[in-house]
Amino acid sequence: MRGSEFAELQGFMAIVEHGSFVRAAESLQLTASALSQSMKSLEHRMHVQLLHRTTRRVHLTEAGEHLAARLRPALEEVSAAVADTSQFATRPHGKIHVHAMRLGSRLYLEPCLPAFLKAFPDIRVDVTLDDASLDIVQHGYDFSIRLGEMLDQDFIGLPLGPRIRQVAAASPSYLEDFGYPKTPADLRRHRCITWRWPGHLGSYQWEFYKNDHWLKVSLDGVLSFNDQHAALEAAARGAGIAFWAEDQIQPYIERNELVPLLTDWSAPFEGFYLCFPKQHQHSAVMRAFIDFLKEEISVGSD
């Protein structure tokens, strides 16, 4: 249906409601002559007379009554749909799908969710915890929480926290039995506990930094997990040397369960980001999520 045809039907129903061309035209902010011409066009297009015009009042023909009866609920539904949809602009309403790396979710997303849902009760959040790097648009996600090194150049990245440093660590009992590695190359002679990226058969390469260069060390672990926390727990029990984010190892160090190793070879790198396509800034629901996390980051950094 063309826009002009819809306008003709609106004009017809305005006449039905007001019983007068003049009052109907005023409600539509038209002239009575323009509305009259519109009704002639509608009747000509439908090949049927809809209105009996007199000097005092307008009456519906049988065909007009039939059309009015069918149109009234349809136009009311259209009006309700428009009004309901307009709420999206003033009151965010909908569902957000988030793909998040496990550590990023635990540090930055999960602590914020209760307050976000309280502030925006009409928004639903669906979170997938997954350390794999994937195309979030292709897989139907709105946002991703991932490390800075995984950012897509076509996406906007909002930094969520500070830079991260990974360190190796082992229990005091392990170091008493096997000694301390002096360089990353020494790790190949030690019992290491490795970790696998989702979707990868090989273990994650441990990364070190010296003399302005990054060094990757591939290791065959005596234990290998697909979960970094499990690797830390095994290291704390004396199974070998693990490698993870320094802030995650710190509680074990404070309890004297782990000892940091090769810290002179460890350097910080980009931390976690909230990343999203540029067009998400124009959606009320997405904008609410972005602005809320920005505010949380600002408060948390004070």
**Domain 164-269 is found in CATH 3.40.50.300:** no
Q: How far is CA 160 from the centre of its chain?
A: 14
pLDDT of 228 higher than 90: no
Mean pLDDT of the chain: 87
**Domain 3-90 is found in CATH 3.90.76.10:** no
Fold match between 3-90 and 164-269?
no
Spatial distance between the Cα atoms of 160 and 84, rounded to a whole number of angstroms: 34
- Nearest to residue 57, comparing CAs of 16, 11, 13? 16
The amino acid at 251: P
Residues present in the chain in total: 302
Q: How far is CA 72 from the centre of its chain?
A: 40
Give pLDDT tens digits for 107-128: 999 999 999 999 999 999 999 9
Q: What percent of the chain has pLDDT over 90?
A: 43
Domain boundaries 94-162+271-300, CATH class: alpha beta
Phi-psi region of 94 (alpha: psi -120 to 50; beta: other; left: phi over 0): left
Give pLDDT tens digits for 37-74: 988 998 998 899 988 887 667 888 898 899 889 888 88
Domain ranges of the chain: 3-90, 94-162+271-300, 164-269
